[in-house]
Amino acid sequence: MTTINVPSREEVSANNQAIFDNLKKGFGMVPNLLATMAHSENALATYVALQGAKSSLTGKAKEVVNLVVSQVNECAYCLAAHTMVGKMSGFSDADLIEIRQGYANFDSKLDALARLAKGITQSRGHVDQDLLDAFFAAGWTKENLVDTIIAIGDKTVTNYLHSSTKIPVDFPAAPPLA
């Protein structure tokens, strides 16, 4: 079995070293999954640009998508990271469990988003029309739909990267679902 290492700053290109430095300033560390992207000369910069891109979704709404997609894709790394970020965004432990299950009874608008994100992810993009109708009925827009799909793609990239590399999770583990 091939093992993919988490490269140190010294093992990556000068361009990726600069990104590592910025990540360390922002996070206090370089998360293992992001560091792993530095095996590519371009992937880390591309991903950081995607993460920093403007979106019509709020940070809280993005975390709903991140948690739902990571749960559907069974990504322990992203579930750990986004459980922590979700708490920092104001979600309670109970909220986080609901979101991971694909709904949010505590907020009707986020509920429609969670259900849509789960449907899109499970169906690989072939979402049920009822989920789309409920999403729009909850007050989301066409722009929000496009940005939700971009967010699903973003999270799918990291979910697949972790699934393929099995690099160590460097965040506290997300609690298991019942």
pTM: 0.94
User: How many whole angstroms from its chain centre is CA 85?
Assistant: 10
pLDDT digits (tens, 9 = 90+) for 100-150: 999 999 999 999 999 999 999 999 999 999 999 999 999 999 999 999 999
Q: Where along the chain do its domains lie? A: 9-52, 59-165
The answer to whether the beta carbons of residues 110 and 64 sit under 8 Å apart is yes
What CATH architecture applies to the domain 59-165?
Answer: Up-down Bundle (1.20)
Of 154, 152, 158, 151, give the one whose Cα is nearest residue 55: 151
